[in-house]
Every structure is written in C-alpha cells, then in structure tokens.
C-alpha cells in the first residue's frame, strides 16, 4: 500500500508539472497574441494618421499654389497700373517743371505726398487722378541723394531698400508690405522710375491698399494653415497674415514655400499635426506607409498563427 501511494504521488507530480508547463505555454502564447495585436493596431493607426496628414498636406499645397497665382496676378496688375500712370505725359510735364523750379532754388526739392503740400505736389495730384486708391506717393529726383545723405533711421530703412532696388535695376522694384501713411495697417509699397524714353526723370515711391492681396488667401483650409510672409534681401522673413490653424513643427514643411514673382512675398503651407502613436512610442515614429502596413500585416498574421497553434 505504501509503494502504491508513492507511485501515485510521483505520477500526480509529473502530471502537475506537465500541466504547469502547458499553462505557462498558453500564458506566453496569449501574451504574445495580445502584444502582436497591439503592435498591429498601433501600426495601422499610425499609418492611417500619416495618410490623413499626407492628404491634408496635398490639399494645402494646392490651396497655396492657387492663392500664389491670384496674389501674383494682383501684384502684376498694380505694378502695371503704376507704370502706366507714371508714363502719362501730363505727369512728365509737371515733374519737369517742378524739378526745374527746385533746381533754380539751388537746393534739392522737397519730397511730396498726397496729403501734404511740397515741391512735387502737382505731380502727386496728377498721379492720384490715375490711381484713385493711392494712399501715398513720394517723388525723388533721379540722383536719389536721400539714400546717401539722409538719416536712414528717420527716412525709413524699408523705403530706402525698395528705392535702392529700383535705382539699381532702373526698373520696378519688387513689391512689399509697409506701414500705411494716412491710414493704419499695411499697404502695398511700390517703387518705380519715372521714364521719359530712356531718361529717368525721377523715382516714385507709392503706397496702395493691400487688402485685396490679403483677401486672395481665401477661406481657411482644412488640415492646416496658409501664411503670407515677406522676405528680405538679407534672407530673413516674417509673417503678414495667416489663415487656418496648425500645430506642431515638422521641419520638412520649411520647403513648402512658394515665392510670388515681382515681390518679396511668399506663401508657406503648414499642415496640422494629428495625434499618432509615434508621438509617444518612438518605435512607431515612421511616415512610411508601406513599412507600417507591412509590420501591421505581419503582426496580425503572427497573432493568427498563435491562435492556430493553440
């Protein structure tokens, strides 16, 4: 009886050990199954969010390009309108007379604006008849001695910059945004030579309304923002107006900048960053849709394989 009891105990012990081993194996398979499902789900979620971001970015770039085309057309329209107005014969007659009167005084003429009497006031009034929305016009003699002799801090660095470009190229300077003279807010600043044939009579510095350009940004796009920025000759830039919302800072978006011809303006597109597993777990921080789909699929197949083995 004693021997029989000992054999039974040994058998039970062997069976218990086998059961424990099976339990551990099942626990391991169950744990692996859950982990593989989690990996598959997270990769699928990451891929979905990346796809949505890519779609939003493609839409933003299309909106940006359309806005750039519209804004570029407005800039060209205003540049052409100013060039045509400066070619008016009555303006040339007034400018020549006012330049001669100033030279007779033996001193450089004062500059003139549409809201203040000065040496070029008649010329300013004539230009205002051609450009009814004129905010300000200032004429400068062809020598532009103000760029050398004037206190640029008082004269205005932005004004000096655009006039210097017009003098250097002997052509219309690139348009830019500057503070309005007789109203608040921004205006479109233009500078062009006044040409009589090949002779430069003077230079005109003009401020026009910029609201139409801002309006051409359109409605706020889905999935991000479009921003009108102004660059400079020194390479820096700053925002003028933004529509839409954005979050995050994806360095690749720095390339999504569209310059606008004949101006210092540029449009940038920035998509909104969606929540993704990769923001928390670096192992999932990938933008490769193919790679994410492959890992998700293999993980799911492995999980199904564990179920089959069970």
Confidence check: pLDDT of 112 > 60? no
Poorest-confidence range of 17-21, 94-98, 190-194, 292-296? 17-21
| DSSP secondary structure letters along 120-178 | THHHHHHHHHH-TT--EEEEEETT-THHHHS-HHHH-HHHHHHHHHHHHHTSPPPBEEE
Has residue 28 been placed in a domain?
A: yes
Please, which pLDDT band fits residue 115 given cuts at 50, 70 and 90? very low
pLDDT winner (highest mean) among 14-18, 103-107, 173-177, 276-280: 173-177
pTM here is 0.79
Has residue 281 been placed in a domain?
A: no
Residues 41, 33: Cα–Cα separation, whole Å: 12
Tokens linked to 223:
């999935």
Domain ranges, residue 38: 1-275+287-310
Q: How confident is the model at residue 19, as a pLDDT?
A: 54
Instruction: Please state the domain count of the chain.
Output: 1
**pLDDT tens-digit profile of 234-279?**
656 889 999 988 655 554 454 578 999 999 999 999 888 889 999 9
Q: What angle do CA 180, 159, 168 make, to 5 degrees?
A: 140
> Which residues, in sequence order, are bridge partners of residue 139?
204
Has residue 235 been placed in a domain?
A: yes
Average pLDDT over residues 141-165: 89
Average pLDDT over residues 194-201: 95
Q: How confident is the model at residue 262, as a pLDDT?
A: 94
Average pLDDT over residues 11-15: 58
- CB–CB of 206/44 below 8 Å? no
Q: How many residues does the chain have?
A: 310
Instruction: Give the percent of the chain with pLDDT over 90.
Output: 57
Residue, of 203 and 232, whose pLDDT is higher: 203
Please, which pLDDT band fits residue 10 given cuts at 50, 70 and 90? low
Q: Please count the other Cβ atoms lying within 10 Å of the Cβ belonging to residue 265.
A: 26
Q: What stretch of H or E contains 231? A: strand 224-231
Q: How confident is the model at residue 34, as a pLDDT?
A: 85
Poorest-confidence range of 22-31, 97-106, 155-164? 22-31
Has residue 51 been placed in a domain?
A: yes
Provide the edge-to-edge strand list for the sheet that holds 136-141: 136-141, 199-209, 186-196, 176-179
Has residue 280 been placed in a domain?
A: no
Residue, of 55 and 6, whose pLDDT is higher: 55
Has residue 165 been placed in a domain?
A: yes
Instruction: Give the percent of the chain with pLDDT over 70.
Output: 83
Q: What angle do CA 86, 77, 121 make, to 5 degrees?
A: 30
Q: How confident is the model at residue 1, as a pLDDT?
A: 46
Confidence check: pLDDT of 294 > 90? yes
Please, which pLDDT band fits residue 8 given cuts at 50, 70 and 90? low
Has residue 119 been placed in a domain?
A: yes
Residue indicated by tokens 């820096």: 236
Sign of CA dihedral 167, 171, 176, 180: positive
- φ, ψ of residue 282 to 5 degrees: the values are -65, -25
Average pLDDT over residues 76-87: 98
Has residue 282 been placed in a domain?
A: no
Average pLDDT over residues 16-45: 77
Q: What is the CA radius of gyration of the chain?
A: 36
Residues 150, 158: Cα–Cα separation, whole Å: 14
């Amino acid at each position: 009886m004693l021997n029989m009891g000992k054999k039974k105990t040994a058998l039970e012990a062997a069976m218990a050990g086998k059961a424990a081993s099976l339990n551990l194996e099942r626990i391991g398979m169950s744990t692996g199954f859950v982990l593989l499902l989690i990996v598959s789900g997270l990769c699928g979620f990451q891929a979905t969010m990346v796809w949505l971001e890519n779609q939003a970015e493609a839409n933003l770039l299309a909106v940006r390009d359309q806005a750039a085309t519209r804004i570029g057309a407005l800039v060209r329209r205003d540049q052409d309108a100013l060039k045509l107005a400066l070619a008016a014969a009555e303006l040339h007659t007034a400018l020549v007379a006012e330049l001669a009167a100033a030279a007779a005084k033996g001193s450089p003429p004062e500059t003139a604006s549409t809201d203040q009497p000065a040496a070029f006031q008649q010329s300013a009034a004539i230009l205002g008849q051609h450009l009814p929305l004129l905010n300000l016009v200032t004429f400068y003699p062809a020598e532009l001695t103000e760029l050398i002799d004037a206190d640029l801090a008082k004269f205005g660095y932005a004004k000096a910059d655009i006039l210097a470009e017009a003098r250097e190229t002997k052509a219309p300077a690139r348009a830019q945004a500057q503070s309005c003279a007789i109203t608040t807010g921004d205006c479109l600043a233009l500078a062009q030579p006044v040409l009589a044939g090949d002779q430069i009579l003077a230079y005109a510095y003009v401020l026009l309304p910029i609201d139409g350009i801002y309006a051409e940004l359109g409605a706020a796009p889905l999935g991000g923002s479009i921003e009108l920025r102004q660059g400079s000759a020194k390479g820096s830039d700053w925002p003028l107006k933004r529509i839409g919302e954005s979050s995050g800072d994806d360095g690749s978006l720095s390339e999504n900048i569209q310059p606008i011809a004949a101006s210092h303006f540029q449009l940038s597109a920035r998509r909104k960053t969606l929540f993704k597993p990769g923001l928390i777990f670096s192992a999932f921080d990938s933008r490769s849709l193919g790679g994410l789909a492959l890992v998700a699929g293999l993980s799911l197949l492995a999980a199904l394989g564990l179920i089959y083995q069970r």
